[in-house]
Amino acid sequence: MLKFTFGGMNVEILHTALKTIQLEAESISGLANFIDKSFEKALESIHQSKGRVVISGIGKSAIVGQKIVATLNSTGTPALFMHAADAIHGDLGMIQQDDVVIVISKSGESPEVKVLVPLIKNFGNILIGMVGNTDSFLARESDIILNTTVNQEACPNNLAPTCSTTAQMVMGDTLAVCLMKMNGFTGRDFAKYHPGGNLGKRLYLRVSDLYPQNAQPAVLPSATLKEIIVVISKSRLGTTAVVNEAEQLVGIITDGDVRRMLETTDDISKVQASDIFNKNPKTIEPDTLAVDALETLRKFDISQLMVVDTHGKYMGVLHLHDLVREGII
């Protein structure tokens, strides 16, 4: 029994909380014993299938099944959910000839499962049983078994699905991640299925999507100090490119460069851009991912990058604020 208090909470309740976490963790670690030939066969069946993965279940297992379907779809394995109760009232039409069917059940003896399984087998589809009782009806009738047996539930009465549903969830994630590896699923593939939100932006947003909305400040090397200050102020980017007659980037001047020049120069009447510009500006090409641009900014501790094409032609400025605005940071 724990010997501390927490906000006046009963020590026995805290002990129950920690015991729940311990039991759930054990239910996950125990799955390592079930990554065997049967698991390998399940993977190969799904990977070689020309159809989809149809997942079914009842009760809490059905909810877990929906999550597994979502994970598979988002990682390149086409999947759909079919509720076991609805399946026997018309939804069996969802199953196509080349589909692999996974039925999830802790007991493997649910009435709905007992009705559903023979119907699936009549269709001739490969049936994978994700089951916590390897002596059950579902286990006996399945072509392949994914064992998710747990020693006990975290529920004090050993009744409410807790450890068992955790094990099912993790087994589903394990399948999905292995299939990603087998399919060579990359970050770019992931981006195709996650175009929305900050995650999607980090995977597909490019420099070319950001810099065109900014001003394109530029001066020639012969520009006067007044011209430089006016251009920098007007663009509100804190910088200007220095370009030649062919519009190729030859340097950069920041407002910091101007301030430092003013601190060290007495006669500024003849100062030109060529006298103060940085000849080695940090550049980036338009098709670069925005997240890679962020890494460059961080690496050099700067707030803007000059955008140039493959021939060195000046295209514009990418500012740190552009990445902040889009939620990349």
The DSSP-derived string for 214-270 is S---EE-TT-BHHHHHHHHHHHTSSEEEEE-TT-BEEEEEEHHHHHHHHHH-S--TT
Indicate if 130 and 268 belong to the same structural domain: no
| Cross-strand pairs, 126 | 100
Whole-number mean pLDDT of the chain? Answer: 92
> For residue 194, is pLDDT > 80?
no
> For residue 209, is pLDDT > 80?
yes
Among residues of the chain, what percentage have pLDDT more than 70? Answer: 95
Indicate if 243 and 153 belong to the same structural domain: no
Per-residue confidence (pLDDT) for residue 1, from 0 to 100 = 44
Could you tell me if residue 4 is inside a domain?
A: no
Could you tell me if residue 117 is inside a domain?
A: yes
Look up tokens 């020049």; give the residue.
261
Indicate if 180 and 217 belong to the same structural domain: no
Q: Is 83 annotated in some ligand binding site?
A: yes
Per-residue confidence (pLDDT) for residue 196, from 0 to 100 = 66
Indicate if 220 and 180 belong to the same structural domain: no
> For residue 6, is pLDDT > 60?
no
Q: If you average pLDDT over residues 128-140, what whole number do you get?
A: 97
Residues contacting 259, CB < 8 A, separation 6+ = none
Indicate if 231 and 174 belong to the same structural domain: no
Q: If you average pLDDT over residues 262-271, what whole number do you get?
A: 91
Cβ atoms of 250 and 274 within 8 Å: the answer is no
Q: Dihedrals φ, ψ of 307, to 5°?
A: -90, 125
Cβ atoms of 322 and 305 within 8 Å: the answer is no
- With CA atoms as reference, report the closest residue to 206 among 122, 326, 303, 45: 326
Could you tell me if residue 170 is inside a domain?
A: yes
Per-residue confidence (pLDDT) for residue 88, from 0 to 100 = 87
Indicate if 162 and 212 belong to the same structural domain: no
> For residue 125, is pLDDT > 90?
yes
Confidence band (pLDDT; 50, 70, 90) for 199? low
Indicate if 132 and 236 belong to the same structural domain: no
Question: Which pairing describes strands 126-131 and 100-105: parallel, antiparallel, or unpaired?
Answer: parallel
Q: If you average pLDDT over residues 207-233, what whole number do you get?
A: 95
Confidence band (pLDDT; 50, 70, 90) for 50? very high
Which tokens in the block code for residue 66? 């929906």
Indicate if 258 and 144 belong to the same structural domain: no
CATH code of 315's domain: 3.10.580.10
CATH code of 70's domain: 3.40.50.10490
Could you tell me if residue 62 is inside a domain?
A: yes
Task: Please write the tens of the pLDDT for every residue from 70-107.
Answer: 999 999 999 999 999 999 898 999 999 999 999 999 99
Cβ atoms of 2 and 14 within 8 Å: the answer is yes
Per-residue confidence (pLDDT) for residue 205, from 0 to 100 = 87
Per-residue confidence (pLDDT) for residue 273, from 0 to 100 = 95
Indicate if 215 and 109 belong to the same structural domain: no
Indicate if 249 and 158 belong to the same structural domain: no
Residue of 105 and 325 predicted with greater confidence: 105
Q: If you average pLDDT over residues 108-125, what whole number do you get?
A: 96
pTM for the model:
0.69
Cβ atoms of 127 and 120 within 8 Å: the answer is yes
Per-residue confidence (pLDDT) for residue 11, from 0 to 100 = 84
Per-residue confidence (pLDDT) for residue 2, from 0 to 100 = 46
**Number of compact structural domains in the chain:** 2
> For residue 229, is pLDDT > 80?
yes
Per-residue confidence (pLDDT) for residue 303, from 0 to 100 = 93
Q: Maximum CA pair distance of the chain?
A: 94
Q: If you average pLDDT over residues 166-184, what whole number do you get?
A: 97
Per-residue confidence (pLDDT) for residue 5, from 0 to 100 = 53
Per-residue confidence (pLDDT) for residue 190, from 0 to 100 = 76
Residue of 144 and 12 predicted with greater confidence: 144
Could you tell me if residue 75 is inside a domain?
A: yes
Confidence band (pLDDT; 50, 70, 90) for 187? confident
Domain end among 185, 218, 251: 185
Structural domain containing residue 178: 11-185
Look up tokens 């060195």; give the residue.
312
Indicate if 179 and 211 belong to the same structural domain: no
Cβ atoms of 195 and 298 within 8 Å: the answer is no
Per-residue confidence (pLDDT) for residue 47, from 0 to 100 = 97
- With CA atoms as reference, report the closest residue to 146 among 106, 96, 97: 106
3-state secondary structure of 63: helix
Task: Please write the tens of the pLDDT for every residue from 279-324.
Answer: 999 999 999 999 999 999 999 999 999 999 999 999 999 999 999 9
Could you tell me if residue 216 is inside a domain?
A: yes
Indicate if 83 and 122 belong to the same structural domain: yes
Q: Dihedrals φ, ψ of 206, to 5°?
A: -120, 165
Positions of E strands within the chain: 53-57, 79-83, 100-105, 126-131, 144-147, 218-219, 239-243, 249-254, 283-284, 304-308, 314-319
Could you tell me if residue 202 is inside a domain?
A: no
Could you tell me if residue 211 is inside a domain?
A: yes
